[in-house]
């Protein structure tokens, strides 16, 4: 079954590149850059991967990314992920990154984008994999900061394909970012947003109706709202679902409690993704395998999920991909 899943052509549409920082690489980069990590060794860091909710994960995620300082660091990080993704049958990646998480600690935006872009070009040559960058705004930072970030991104317009919204969801509704998403739309950027991971279905409605998103990241709490399920199905708004993440962050207790079957039954376009694979115990194929086992999915459903990921991607925009 693993080989069947690995062989399915697929796209990964919900992947935070900073969330691919494996503990060993965190220590290697810490050494290379003379940065002290607040953990004695790889084992101690791995022990800390015992999250109680989204915020407890984010605290560690932001702490670890302090080792990313130079373009080479971002390039090495992305290259390691892309090599793995290619081996998992991933043909196309829409890679999230968090500009504010780097710029706010003094790393120029140019350094981040150059590093990621160089890894993307190398991976296209080596594996034929295509990569689009999606810059996510941190929703627990002020909307004014998101707007200045968008202005800074405008200087790298050619390297950026879309914008997203991530970080701590509760208490930070999508509507706070109406203006910045409108401005991004005017720049011709694609729009996606995390919504309904921990937050209520109303945040998903806002992402659709206020931000005008084309896909919803996570969106699992849509399962609580039949009218919203109908809206997603009728308008063919894909959800980028990340099952192992949902279990690790305790959005669902067990994988068997995951709303995937309800979403599929409602006719929603579901895609399977890894979110932050270094932290959540699995890359994209591991997520498919876990779902297959939890729900005894047949090969036709697995093929449909993989096909959905390619159909839901923005790669049709890109010549030659
Ligand atoms: N949710 C919100 N913000 C994030 C996540 C996530 O799963 N991963 C990285 N930033
Ligand atoms: Zn995410």
Residue 316 lies in a domain: no
Nearest CA to ligand 1 atom 7: 275
Tell which residue, 248, 250, 306, 253, has the closest CA to residue 278.
248
Ligand 1 binding pocket mutation candidate from 15, 97, 252, 275 (most atoms within 8 A of CB): 275
pTM for this predicted structure:
0.97
Those residues with Cβ within 8 angstroms of residue 44's Cβ, 6 or more apart along the chain or in another chain: none
Q: Is the CB of 246 under 6 A from ligand 1?
A: no
pLDDT reported for residue 317: 74
Residue 318 lies in a domain: no
Task: List Cα–Cα distances, 233 to 228, 230, 270, in angstroms.
Answer: 9, 5, 10
Task: List Cα–Cα distances, 13 to 132, 142, 265, in angstroms.
Answer: 10, 26, 22
Residue 321 lies in a domain: no
Percent of the chain with pLDDT over 70: 99
Residue 41 lies in a domain: yes
Give CA–CA dist 57/167, Å, rounded.
10
Query: Residue 166 forms beta bridges with which residues?
Result: 138
Q: How confident is the model at residue 104 (pLDDT cuts 50, 70, 90)?
A: very high
**Mind listing the pLDDT tens digit for each residue in 108-132?**
999 999 999 999 999 999 999 999 9
**Number of domains the chain contains:** 1
**Domain coverage including residue 231:** 2-311
Residue 173 lies in a domain: yes
The CATH number that applies at residue 282 is 3.20.20.140
Arithmetic mean of pLDDT, 65-71: 98
- Exactly one of 18, 114, 197, 198 is catalytic; which is it? 197
C-alpha 13 – ligand 2 centre gap (Å)? 10
**Mind listing the pLDDT tens digit for each residue in 200-238?**
999 999 999 999 999 999 999 999 999 999 999 999 999
Q: How confident is the model at residue 264 (pLDDT cuts 50, 70, 90)?
A: very high
Arithmetic mean of pLDDT, 252-259: 98
pLDDT above 80 (res 320): no
Atom number in ligand 1 closest to CA 276: 8
Q: Is the CB of 16 under 6 A from ligand 1?
A: yes
C-alpha 275 – ligand 2 centre gap (Å)? 5
Query: Residue 217 forms beta bridges with which residues?
Result: 194, 240
Residue 115 lies in a domain: yes
C-alpha 170 – ligand 1 centre gap (Å)? 12
Tell which residue, 57, 68, 59, has the closest CA to residue 28.
68
Q: How confident is the model at residue 319 (pLDDT cuts 50, 70, 90)?
A: very low
**Mind listing the pLDDT tens digit for each residue in 30-58?**
999 999 999 999 999 999 999 999 999 99
pLDDT above 60 (res 145): yes
pLDDT reported for residue 316: 84
Who has greater pLDDT, 16 or 321?
A: 16
pLDDT reported for residue 302: 98
Residue 319 lies in a domain: no
Q: Is the CB of 198 under 6 A from ligand 1?
A: no
Give CA–CA dist 258/291, Å, rounded.
9
Decide if 179 is catalytic: no
Residue 198 lies in a domain: yes
Q: Is the CB of 194 under 6 A from ligand 1?
A: yes
pLDDT reported for residue 318: 57
Ligand 1 binding pocket mutation candidate from 19, 164, 170 (most atoms within 8 A of CB): 19
């Amino acid at each position: 079954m693993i080989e069947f899943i690995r062989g399915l052509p697929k796209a990964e549409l919900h992947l935070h590149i900073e969330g691919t920082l494996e503990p060993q690489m965190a220590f290697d980069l810490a050494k290379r850059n003379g940065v002290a990590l607040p953990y004695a060794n790889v084992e101690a860091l791995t022990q800390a991967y015992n999250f109680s909710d989204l915020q407890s994960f984010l605290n560690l995620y932001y702490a670890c990314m302090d080792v990313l300082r130079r373009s080479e660091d971002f390039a090495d990080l992305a290259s390691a992920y892309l090599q793995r993704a290619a081996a998992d049958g991933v043909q196309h990646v829409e890679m999230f990154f968090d500009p504010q998480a780097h710029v706010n600690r003094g790393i120029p935006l140019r350094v981040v984008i150059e590093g990621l872009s160089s890894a993307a070009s190398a991976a296209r040559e080596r594996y034929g994999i295509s990569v689009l960058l999606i810059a996510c705004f941190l929703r627990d930072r002020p909307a004014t900061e998101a707007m200045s970030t968008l202005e800074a991104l405008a200087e790298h317009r050619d390297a950026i394909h879309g914008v997203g919204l991530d970080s701590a969801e509760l208490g930070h509704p999508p509507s706070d970012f109406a203006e910045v998403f409108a401005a991004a739309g005017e720049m011709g950027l694609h729009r996606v947003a995390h919504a309904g991971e921990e937050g209520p279905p109303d945040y998903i409605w806002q992402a659709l109706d206020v931000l005008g998103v084309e896909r919803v990241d996570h969106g699992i709490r849509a399962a609580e709202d039949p009218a919203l399920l109908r809206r997603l199905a009728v308008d063919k708004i894909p959800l980028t679902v990340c099952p192992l993440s949902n279990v690790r962050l305790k959005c669902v207790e067990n994988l068997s409690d995951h709303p995937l079957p309800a979403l599929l039954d409602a006719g929603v376009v579901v895609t399977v993704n890894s979110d932050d694979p270094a932290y959540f115990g699995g890359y994209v194929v591991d997520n498919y395998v876990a779902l297959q086992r939890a729900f005894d999915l047949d090969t036709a459903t697995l093929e449909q999920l993989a096909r959905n990921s390619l159909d839901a991607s923005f790669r049709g925009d890109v010549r030659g991909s």
